Amino acid sequence: MLILASASPRRRELLNQAGFEFQVHPAHIPEELHLNEDPIAYVTRLAREKAEAVYAKLAEPTAIVLGADTTVTLDNHILGKPENPEDAARMLRLLSGRTHRVITGVALVSATQTQVAAEVTAVQFLTLSEQEIADYIATSEPNDKAGAYAIQGRAARWIPRIEGCYFNVVGLPISLVSTLLQSI
């Protein structure tokens, strides 16, 4: 039995789209960045902690719990979810006209093993005007998204190129998850 340790509707949609059968049991853990923590270490640690927390609560020996965490990085600085519209505008200005990385940490926890991996995708942004940023923020789409944008939403028009897994940018690298599941 596969358990998704996330409340993310995007992760649920991606797993459904790929044909996985699963249940949802969101993890509720602190998502604080540790001092001098590398972005890949950060998302893989959170993914593992989420999966372990849910596995411990379930007490179901046949369960495989999937934890995931996604972040956006620019110049090795993490851009999490914006705190407010001003923070979203700040992030979008930083991303404007530049290429950044989207990193998702994935963890699978079962009775016999824990597997942790990360997927990295480079995303190129067009240069945005202040009006485009203001109009986008007014849609509320950036509110709960790492880096203040959704590639599968209105921000798609500003992304001419990516290198790597598209689904990673949405929030869950499905091929990586599938590969890890096959090895358990």
> How far apart are the C-alpha atoms of 21 and 49, rounded to whole Å?
22
- Residues with active-site annotation: 69
- Ordered DSSP codes for 44-110: HHHHHHHHHHHHHHH--TT-EEEEEEEEEEETTEEE-S-SSHHHHHHHHHHHTTSEEEEEEEEEEE-
DSSP 156: G
Task: List, in order, residues 6 or more apart from 55 with CB less than 8 Å away.
Answer: 3, 63, 65, 109, 110
